[in-house]
Structure 1
């Protein structure tokens, strides 16, 4: 596969995963704001005929994103690129986020494996989704992992948003600042949003938050 095609696939699959995270954050936020609405949402989602195809599409996007990113990393290393060249921007935060991609990816993969084992296989019965989630987050180590995964997602996106636009040929000097600021806003929303949800649900589970 041509390098340009690989970059486009990485950008496209990453964008699909970010869209999923935004929708997922909106759904799980209901657990804090409107618990009955969250249970209704979870039950309707799990009974939807399109859920399995959607999960298959997301799984393919994730596997493609991981596999092609690893291929690109190996190709870059073979071409002589090193971490000092990982970011082409005069942006300390972006460069640091880029160098931290392996760490943020590892945290996200660990979280995904744990999260699926806890809340997907097996899936809680209808009406008990929130109870199971609170049971999980009542454990300090799990609450810490869920919060760390939120921060890792935000850190990953801090680099990935601009990199995706560059890979798709959409980044230019005229729109670079706007794309960077928008990417940072989405990264902050996802990172702080999932962290806050994990912390507040932990508080509700252990009793320090009503």
Structure 2
């Protein structure tokens, strides 16, 4: 895995400090305050490796966090390329798309345990592609989605906090308590500073 990443970031002088060994601990949904800095760090971005099924949170040349993800199936591939997060939805509703695979599916409200979106949708390519939470943790590390990126709910909450803080959308502890505790109430957030997302094969 290290040699693959070094190939991706050959221009990154400080990349040798990557810590191997899986996802780092993420703050729980009950935490009152985001575990991130209020000031945006230069070079904050998200890198997703489709073959490794990993999402990397980057600050400058350094990988700060690594998360296991599920990616698109061969018949529903996750798009590759350079994108940007400009909006996200906390506690989202799920509406089946107009696609053959979703023909018999039913809409699910926020907080419904059968809602496949989890706690947050982080859009990287509108309107159909986003990073989102999932209860189906067995799918992580696999090509199991319909093109989106799946993460554990605790992990995607931690990522969403960072994206907001570094995307010009910091919020107070009171706001976080409300959003994280009121699971049936949907909240949309726009970013004044789009967060880059790179998706590689």
Normalising by structure 1, report the TM-score: 0.26
Larger % of strand: which? 2
Normalising by structure 2, report the TM-score: 0.27
Structure with higher Rg: it is 1
Larger % of helix: which? 1
